[in-house]
């Protein structure tokens, strides 16, 4: 036994020494990279209270609503700073919310990789179109782009109209009965639309108001966004044993079971994992973002009767007294509604911030930034730049009339991102929003029951109001305003 024990001790010692050496080398490399970036980025203004190794991690609020309010306050306080940085642990982030700092990042094909914090989406969405990079992303983008060709989108109109009619039937029951929260109703409609168009499968979400999928999306968004801003939980081991790892995995099973059997019929050779990655991505991105956008529009029009009256006047001109479905020619004529949607996306962009990993050393607004730094585009703040949007908190759809958009920098307004990685589904989203909103406004007058202050936006993966969108509806006929 002694001989046997001795023979095992040699390889065990070797393994231990190897692990110790590897740990030391990794630590030294990480430390070296961190120290290098720390000094290289020293000239860039930073948030107050930055500490070595911890950075600003302890400053950020854990509650999603408080965190988003904090981000808004930071971008307001530092609005005149040419460039701003903060640190999450040893990882540097640039905060971009001016057109001149956003453009060099989004306009450069070298910077197409998503930021480090997107890795926490991988268990849910895999490395699909939202999270992949390099050759895989380019291949998927090329493969999926034809799916959003105008002729194919036109085929989706029938589904959008059918599902919107179901939504109107549900809303009819609420009309004239006082305030109610419409957020879930609109969300389930959007979910039915994306399932039937992207997956070719009816799921009857609107008939099941307690959708487990929707609830799980909200829970997962909250869990992931909380992990993104707490670097001590970035380690999988720590997260699983001391954080929300088990709750994360429980919700993940619900989300994946919902999309597991979905398939594409596009003739491309994709593995089951390939398909599920894209289905999960389209299911999340394709219903949550549009649902939020439509809800914000209903609140804003319900708060601005004069704008609502203009939309309904336009609808009267296009549809008259008919209750027919929306067609492609109608969509082209709904120019003021188009401006309303764009202004709502300015004030309440569905994705309030998104991140990129810088693929090479570069200069942003006069500052040298090293490869590997992360850039966070704060869309919510970018869209409030008074240079391009005077009185930025005011709801003014006319800002987006062609004559009022002349000279505005293209990177001052990016609700669907911009550059190579712009949103592949933006035409789908705008079409859906016009169909749903025009149909609602042909049937009802909308009155908002919340002030702007009461909305309390929560910026997780998607920008939502903390307690929903509360409105009153009154039935109308096309002749009334």
Angle at alpha carbon of residue 89, lines to 234 and 385, rounded to 5°: 100
What's the residue count for the chain?
A: 481
**Is 423 among the annotated ligand-binding positions?**
yes
- Separation between Cα atoms, residue 250 and residue 114, nearest integer Å: 26
| Residue 375 region by backbone torsions, left for phi larger than 0, else alpha for psi between -120 and 50, else beta | beta
Instruction: Quote the tokens at residue 286.
Output: 């394709």
Which residues are CB-contacts of 140 (< 8 A; sequence separation ≥ 6)?
128, 129, 132, 278
Give the 3-state secondary structure of residue 85. Answer: strand
**Sign for the pseudo-dihedral over CA of 23, 58, 222, 433:** negative
- Closest residue by Cα to residue 92 from 126, 138, 44: 44
Site of tokens 């979910």: 191
Angle at alpha carbon of residue 124, lines to 121 and 127, rounded to 5°: 65
Give the 3-state secondary structure of residue 88. Answer: strand
Instruction: Say if strands 374-377 and 91-96 run parallel, antiparallel, or are unpaired.
Output: parallel
- Separation between Cα atoms, residue 333 and residue 47, nearest integer Å: 47
Provide the b/e sequence for 387-422 (b: ≥16 CB within 10 Å).
ebbeebeebbbebbeeeeeeebeebbbbbbbbbebe
- Closest residue by Cα to residue 103 from 394, 426, 385: 385
- Contact in structure between 90 and 30 (CB atoms under 8 Å): yes
Site of tokens 């509604």: 337
Binding annotation for heme: 423
Binding annotation: 423
């Amino acid at each position: 036994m002694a001989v046997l024990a001795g023979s095992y001790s040699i390889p065990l010692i070797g393994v231990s020494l190897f692990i110790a050496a590897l740990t030391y080398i990794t630590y030294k490399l990480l430390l070296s990279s961190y120290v290098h970036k720390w000094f290289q980025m020293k000239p860039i203004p930073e948030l107050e209270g930055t500490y070595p190794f911890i950075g600003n991690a302890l400053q950020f609020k854990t509650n999603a609503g408080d965190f988003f309010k904090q981000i808004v306050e930071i971008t307001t306080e530092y609005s005149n700073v040419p460039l701003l940085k903060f640190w999450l642990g040893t990882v540097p982030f640039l905060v971009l919310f001016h057109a001149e700092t956003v453009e060099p990042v989004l306009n450069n094909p070298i910077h197409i990789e998503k930021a480090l914090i997107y890795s926490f989406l991988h268990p849910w969405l895999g490395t699909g179109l939202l999270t992949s990079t390099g050759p895989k992303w380019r291949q998927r983008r090329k493969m999926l782009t034809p799916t959003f060709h105008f002729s194919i989108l036109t085929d989706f109109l029938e589904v959008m109209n059918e599902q919107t009619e179901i939504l109107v039937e549900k809303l009819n029951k609420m009309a004239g009965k006082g305030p109610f929260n419409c957020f879930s109703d609109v969300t389930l409609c959007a979910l039915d639309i994306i399932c039937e168009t992207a997956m070719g499968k009816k799921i009857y979400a609107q008939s099941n108001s307690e959708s487990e999928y929707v609830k799980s999306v909200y829970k997962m968004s909250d869990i992931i966004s909380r992990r993104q801003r707490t670097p001590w939980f970035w380690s999988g081991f720590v997260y699983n044993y001391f954080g929300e790892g088990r709750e994360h995995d429980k919700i993940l099973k619900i989300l994946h079971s919902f999309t597991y059997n979905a398939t594409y019929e596009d003739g491309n050779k994709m593995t089951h994992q390939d398909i599920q990655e894209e289905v999960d991505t389209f299911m999340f991105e394709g219903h949550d973002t549009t649902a939020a956008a439509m809800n914000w529009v209903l609140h804003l029009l319900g708060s601005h009767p004069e704008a609502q009256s203009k939309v309904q006047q336009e609808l009267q001109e296009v549809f008259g007294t008919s209750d027919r479905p929306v067609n492609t020619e109608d969509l082209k004529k709904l120019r003021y509604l188009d401006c309303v949607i764009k202004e709502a996306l300015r004030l309440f962009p569905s994705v309030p911030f998104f991140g990129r990993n810088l693929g090479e050393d570069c200069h942003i607004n006069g500052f040298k930034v090293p490869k590997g730094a992360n850039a966070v585009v704060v869309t919510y703040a970018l869209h409030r730049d008074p240079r391009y949007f005077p009185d930025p908190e005011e709801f003014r759809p006319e800002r987006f009339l062609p004559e009022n958009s002349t000279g505005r920098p293209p990177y001052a307004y990016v609700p669907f991102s911009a550059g190579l990685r712009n949103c592949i589904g933006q035409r789908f989203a705008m079409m859906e929003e016009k169909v749903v909103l025009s149909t609602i406004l042909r049937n009802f007058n909308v009155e908002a029951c919340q002030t702007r202050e009461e909305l309390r936006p929560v910026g997780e993966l998607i920008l939502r109001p903390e307690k929903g969108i509360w409105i009153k509806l009154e039935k109308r006929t096309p002749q009334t305003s």
